Amino acid sequence: MISDKAPTNISMPRFTFVFFLSLFSVSFLCNGNLFSADRSPERIVSLAPGITEILYRLDLGDRIAGVTEFSNFPPETRNKPKVGGFANPNVERIIALRPDLVIAIPNVGNRAPVETVERLGVPILIVETRSLEELYQAIDRIGTATGRPDQAGALVKEIQEEISLLVRAVRQKSRPRVLLTFSRDPFIIAGSSSFPGELIRLAGGQVPLFGGKTRYPRIGIEAVLEYAPEVILEPETADMSSGVKKIDLLGSWERWSSIPAVREKQVFGIESDLIFRPGPRTPAALRQLIQILHPEVPAVKENGDRYPD
């Protein structure tokens, strides 16, 4: 059974719960307290960790007045004032920082706070990052809004070129069936139209088609068994720059030993901040996926000068 409704009574790590709220994103338009194109904002509040990373890559770190709680990269972000969570920003904290631009990604929890901030006269920029194409558009729009259009264009080109090289490295490889899940009770998975689903396909994997256009469908164990994933991925909060981590099967997946990924011990953790955070580090997420799905491919070295054809 597949459902779009948000389940209740789910036990999951805090980062997963916050991300889970973001899955049920909504579209909303602010009335448009527009910032002046001839004056770059000096005090920017970022309401999403990915936006924060984009701002830093555009050399705007000194103009960031506030960020959300889970903004943790680059490391200096941790010293910025916090304005609440991605799904529940605090209006009072935002206004207290006297921003001249607030940048947000719409989700089920932040619509009312963002619209309140706008009614109080603060310019708002809303961007979407549900796909690579939307990510590129978001970077361009942020660059234009902050007086960094050239830097934004260069960043988009850099991301596109690295992703293109990585994709070329796996284009002739087999395509294992991959299941990315961040809840097992019920199963909530990354569908084919989700951002992680897009990256899995680019990394040379197959993504289940459950749920149609639903980006993160809920499914039953019967659907998982029928799909028979050859690789299972679960988000991890730890930094995995030192290597890929295999999930301990005991007490988690071992009960479903008929699943090929479980039988062959192909159950891995993947760094949640990369796979679920569209931004400048998206190529690193793709590298990590390739390292898992196609470990024989030497194209995943972050410091490599060239990738194989």
Residues 103-150 pLDDT 10s: 999 988 899 999 999 999 999 999 999 999 999 999 999 999 999 999
Closest CA to 167 of 179, 178, 175, 156: 175
Are residue 156 and residue 186 in the same domain, yes or no?
no
Question: Could you tell me the pLDDT band of residue 40, with boundaries at 50, 70 and 90?
Answer: confident
**Based on the domain organization, do 73 and 119 belong to the same domain?**
yes
Nearest CA-CA partner of 198 in 172, 174, 167, 219 = 167
Domain count, the chain: 2
Q: Do 188 and 162 reside in the same domain of the chain?
A: no
Choosing from 107, 141, 166, the residue where a domain stops is 166
Residue reference for tokens 């659907």: 223
* Residues 130 and 266 reside in one and the same domain: no
Tell me if 200 is assigned to some domain.
yes
Backbone angles phi, psi at 265, to 5 degrees: 55, 45
Burial of 286 (0-12, 13-18, 19+ CB in 10 A): buried
- Do residues 176 and 162 share a domain? no
Q: What number is the average pLDDT over the span 168-196?
A: 92
| Residue corresponding to tokens 């996926």 | 289
Same domain? For 81 and 129 the reply is yes
Q: Which residue has the tokens 């459950």?
A: 210
The pLDDT confidence band at residue 211, using thresholds 50, 70 and 90, is low
Q: Which domain holds residue 155?
A: 14-166
Model pLDDT, residue 130: 95
Length of the chain: 309
Q: Is residue 3 part of a domain?
A: no
- In sequence order, which ranges of 203-240 are alpha helices (DSSP H)? 221-227
Among residues 166, 191, 213, the one where a domain terminates is: 166
C-beta atoms surrounding 11 within 10 Å: 9
Q: How far apart are CA 201 and CA 149, in angstroms?
A: 30
CATH number where 141 lies: 3.40.50.1980
Q: Is residue 262 part of a domain?
A: yes
Mean pLDDT over 184-200 rounds to 92
The pLDDT of residue 299 = 55
In degrees and rounded to multiples of 5, residue 49 shows phi and psi of -55, -40
Helix, strand, coil percent values for the chain (each to nearest 5): 40, 15, 45
Confidence label for 297 from pLDDT (cuts 50, 70 and 90): confident
1 part of a folded domain: no
Helices (H), the chain: 14-23, 49-57, 91-96, 111-119, 132-145, 149-170, 195-202, 221-227, 260-263, 272-275, 282-293
Quote the pLDDT of residue 210: 75
Q: Pick from 166, 198, 215: which residue ends a domain?
A: 166
Residues 80 and 59 in one domain: yes
Does any domain span residue 83?
yes
DSSP secondary structure, 59-106, as one string: T-GGGEEEB-TT---SGGGGGSPB-B-SSSB-HHHHHHT--SEEEE--
Which pLDDT score, from 0 to 100, does residue 57 have?
A: 98
Q: Residues 131, 122, 147, CA angle at the centre, nearest 5°? A: 60
Q: Same structural domain for residues 44 and 160?
A: yes
Among 148, 211, 135, smallest CA distance to 179 is for 211
Is residue 259's pLDDT more than 90? yes
Q: Is residue 141 included in any domain, yes or no?
A: yes
Residue 65 and residue 132 in one domain: yes
Dihedral sign, Cα of residue 172, residue 176, residue 182, residue 186 = positive
β-bridge mates for residue 82, sequence order? 67
Measured CA distances, 299 to 156, 164, 287, 291 (Å): 20, 12, 8, 9
Question: Residues 132, 180: one domain?
Answer: no
Is residue 234 pLDDT above 80, yes or no? yes
Is residue 305 in some structural domain? no
- Do 155 and 202 lie in one domain? The reply is no
Residue 6 domain flag: no
Mean pLDDT of 66-87: 94
Are both 68 and 210 inside the same structural domain?
A: no
Give CA separation, 235 vs 117, 128, 166, 262, in Å: 33, 22, 22, 17
